[in-house]
Structure 1
Amino acid sequence: MTTTTTSAPHPRHAMLSGWGRYPLSESDIYRPDRIAELQAVVSGNSSSLIARGLGRAYGDAALNDQNRVVDLTRLNRVLAFDPASGLLRCEAGVTIAELLDVFLPRGFFPPVTPGTRFVTLGGSIAADVHGKNHHRDSSLASHVTWFDLMVASGEVLRCSREENAALFWATVGGMGLTGVILELELRMRRVESAYLDGELIRAGNIDAAIEAFERLDAQYRYSVAWIDCNSVKSALGRSILNVGNFATLAQLPRNLAQNPLNIAPKLSPFVPFDFPVVNSLTVRMFNAVNYAFHREKPGHTIFDWNSFFYPLDSIRNWPRIYGKRGFVQYQCVWPPAESRAGLVEVLEAITRSRRASFLAVLKKFGAQDGMLSFPMPGYTLAIDFPVTDGMLEFLDTLDAMVLKRGGRVYLAKDARMSPETFRAMYPNLSKWQAAKALADPENRFSSSLSRRLRMTE
């Protein structure tokens, strides 16, 4: 790829935060329209820089306090698509929402999607996002054949499993610290409908939930559970599982089969102001009502794609329910042999602390590559905690529980982990540091996250 010399766009100085609204930082923000402008931003200034997409990393991964941030959302062109192979070539600023708008009516769905469609593909590679099908299909990077990476010198390198392989695996899950992803090739999945055929299952405790995941592992590509973090004793970890596969035309009711790839848009309510409704009483009430309301239905259920994959996207500005101080989403994973004991230990600690949330999710992970990728085979728990007095110290105690069982915490959602804990949880750090040093010898690409965790030391 060749670029022409041009000047960098003029930055605006503004306050930024992650999706959890904690912490806050000030930065000079550049928003290039063309690759040449981006190159001028990257190579024309030696101060610290980090790329940013739609800002859906929960913590400080896409923040760069008192330094530079480059917003890539204008670099979002779809460049080529082959319907025979499903191979899509596009710029990294393309979002999953845009892919769905363009390709779902044509019978194609992203191979992996996180719990929101409002993320860029570049950011998704940098965080190596996972979805409800990780136990079958691994993370998004498993379906990316190559990407072009602009390194600190302004040079653009093609990265794949065969070409610049170490840089490929350092960038996957590398939180934007090896360079700026420009373009990529992704293999989309062909589907017959925009609906899923599946089941809704109530599990009375954590053992029943794990048994259901294991029993249905080979039957369903997608599986996820909402988990009640207020339940105790014999009901500890009671859950509601949603499992499903994309429905074929033969599985759809006649009225849906007539137009299987189009679903009428729904109204999206929004939270207009900060309204902290999360406390021990409201959470306990919500969890009890939610578990009672979701009665297990006999036989199979048809879900539309939006409500199955993106239930929170239906409420705009939903982080405001946690109030002005924001929240931290804590996501951890344990290896298979430690998952049950780890879940019990952490759930009991959360219950004792009275810090539970009504947004708690349990999933099963499968195999995973990547130097700093978060997933590993086992079970993962994600839960939101409002920022309150003592919350950070409480999460330190959860870190210790997770670490002693060989688990780790997700960097894309972290806002407070210590450097020592990070090093213990990510044993491939030295390999990642070696690859980063070759691509970015002066450490121009850095972030609030990387400095807090001392990732290059």
Structure 2
Amino acid sequence: MVEIGSWGRLAAWPHRVQPLADRALRRLPGEAAPGLAYGMGRSYGDVCLTPGGTLWLARGLDKFIAFDAETGLLTCEAGVLLRDIQRLFCHRGWMLPVTPGTQFVTVGGAIANDVHGKNHHRLGSFGDHVTRLRLLRTDGEVIECGPDDRADWFTATVGGLGLTGVITEATLQLRRVDGPWLEAETLPYRSLDEFFALSDASEADWEYTVSWIDCTGDGRSPRGLFMRANHGRTPGRLPPDRRKAVPLVPPISLINRASLVAFNTAYFQWHSRQRGRQAVHYEPFFYPLDHVLHWNRIYGPRGFYQYQCVVPRADGPRAIGALLREIAADGQGSFLAVLKTFGERQAPGLLSFAQPGVTLALDFPNHGARTTALLDRLDAVVAEAGGRIYPAKDARMPPTLFRRGYPRLEAFSRLRDPGIRSAFASRVLEN
């Protein structure tokens, strides 16, 4: 048994581990059930863990199988990293259409969580660009499915949190690009009204839109930085290869009220002076934290909670304002706060998180009951607005909120694999 935790470092539990490394896999190794596929462990909460069970380590399924240079169709095993796809194919004129905030994610994990990026209003979520996948069930059944082939299995598996079987390979539709460069622009704003005006004005002409928002004020007129970008041909300065690392876990969290105020003030002022368009490499724009290895350690030995919600756009200004005021009144703040909009698109998976509306993502150091009480109050705002919480980042969502936020849960439940269990599923589906 090996103790394994997730990216939020809230807890680690004993697991049996079984590596997967055979493309022709016809049966999952080991006799200990239940089990769960495990990629890079970048989920923040408990969706990638099964305490006392078996983790099937998917990183060994890391082969590229086929690529059509004319159409951009790529077939690969599920353990391939998004980073490796980007770096290998970018200079050939192809990239992933959708990518999340870190490139250290496996293809299988990206599908299972139906990750989204900064261009949902244009290209949707990751599952929108999967044309086929191979699923291995714990009873040995192998299911090949796609949007138009056994679509019930496909829609259950995309965003299905790994609960329908183990994804062993997939075919992805890449998109054409001129190279690794983006034409980007950063605009400061000083209220939610300004944010929504910038977002509405940008979505027609800019593919990527996202904003950082400062949660350390009073929550009534929050300042932030709105970032937008398009793919471009003009080369810029290559990002320096200065990868840093947090070498150890400090005895206490380095994220506190004083450090948050100081950092957010400096961050806002520095970026406000960088106004104007510039050519930037895709890596620092898409993955701003990936150059700091083990950045999750800065929250100290108790770890941190990530909280991401989406609320309908019609109630977005009120609901987001209410969330920010709750955070400000509590005083805990958030080091990494991201605010962006989702487009008017039907999600590809039954349990896909992204829906039309506004999404807010935040990090909170774990201060025990004080932090969970704050998150409970945020839940109440999200529930009132008819929103939902992102399972990939959750560690404590109540079952009632999950069921309310995911109305297609019953159709999904019929296709669950009885030999697969996660701590998340035990918490929200079986209680």
TM-score by shorter chain over 0.5: yes
Could you tell which deviates more after superposition, 102-111 or 316-325? 102-111
Offset at residue 37 of structure 1 (A): 5.6
Describe the SS at the equivalent of 1:100.
helix
Offset at residue 308 of structure 1 (A): 0.4
Please list every run of 5 or more consecutive structure 2 residues that lacks an aligned counterpart in the other structure.
none
Offset at residue 307 of structure 1 (A): 1.0
**CA 1:28–1:219 in 2, change beyond 3 Å: closer, same or farther?**
same
CA contact (8 A) 1:46 1:444 kept: no
Q: 1:345 corresponds to which residue?
A: 322
Provide the C-alpha distance between the structure 1 equivalents of 2:178 and 2:428, rounded to a whole number of angstroms.
45
Describe the SS at the equivalent of 2:27.
helix
What letter matches 1:301 in structure 2? Answer: Q
What letter matches 1:368 in structure 2? Answer: Q
Determine whether 1:333 maps to 2:333. no
Determine whether 1:243 maps to 2:231. no
The equivalent position to 1:181 in structure 2, one of 154, 157, 167, is 167
Q: 1:268 corresponds to which residue?
A: 243
CA contact (8 A) 2:327 2:374 kept: no
The equivalent position to 2:27 in structure 1, one of 39, 49, 71, is 39
What letter matches 1:326 in structure 2? Answer: G
Provide the C-alpha distance between the structure 2 equivalents of 1:302 and 1:196, rounded to a whole number of angstroms.
6
Provide the C-alpha distance between the structure 1 equivalents of 2:267 and 2:402, rounded to a whole number of angstroms.
35
Describe the SS at the equivalent of 1:412.
helix
CA contact (8 A) 1:28 1:67 kept: yes
Give me the CA root mean square deviation: 1.6
Could you tell which deviates more after superposition, 26-35 or 263-272? 263-272
Corresponding residue pairs, total = 426
1:379-390 aligned within 5 A: 379-389=358-368, 390=370
Describe the SS at the equivalent of 1:123.
helix
Q: 2:414 corresponds to which residue?
A: 434
1:8-407 aligned within 5 A: 13-35=1-23, 39-41=27-29, 45=31, 47-232=33-218, 236-248=221-233, 251-252=234-235, 263=238, 266-275=241-250, 276-295=253-272, 297=274, 299-366=276-343, 367-369=345-347, 370-389=349-368, 390-407=370-387
CA contact (8 A) 1:177 1:445 kept: yes
Offset at residue 105 of structure 1 (A): 2.1
What letter matches 1:449 in structure 2? Answer: F
After TM superposition, the score normalised by the length of structure 1 is 0.90
Offset at residue 233 of structure 1 (A): 5.8
CA contact (8 A) 1:200 1:296 kept: no
Provide the C-alpha distance between the structure 2 equivalents of 1:281 and 1:264, rounded to a whole number of angstroms.
30
Provide the C-alpha distance between the structure 2 equivalents of 1:397 and 1:298, rounded to a whole number of angstroms.
36
CA contact (8 A) 1:200 1:301 kept: no
Describe the SS at the equivalent of 1:198.
strand
Determine whether 1:420 maps to 2:403. no
What letter matches 1:373 in structure 2? Answer: S
Describe the SS at the equivalent of 1:352.
helix
Please list every run of 5 or more consecutive structure 1 residues that lacks an aligned counterpart in the other structure.
1-12, 257-262
Q: 1:5 corresponds to which residue?
A: none
Provide the C-alpha distance between the structure 2 equivalents of 1:356 and 1:180, rounded to a whole number of angstroms.
38
Q: Write out per-residue CA displacement over residues 226-253 of structure 1, whole angstroms, 9 at most, x where no aligned residue.
A: 110012265x3211011001112xx446
The equivalent position to 2:391 in structure 1, one of 411, 423, 435, is 411
Identity of aligned residues (%): 39
What letter matches 1:422 in structure 2? Answer: F
Q: Write out per-residue CA displacement over residues 371-397 of structure 1, whole angstroms, 9 at most, x where no aligned residue.
A: 111011111000001111321122111
Provide the C-alpha distance between the structure 2 equivalents of 1:48 and 1:158, rounded to a whole number of angstroms.
23
Provide the C-alpha distance between the structure 1 equivalents of 2:96 and 2:305, rounded to a whole number of angstroms.
27
What letter matches 2:325 in structure 1? Answer: E
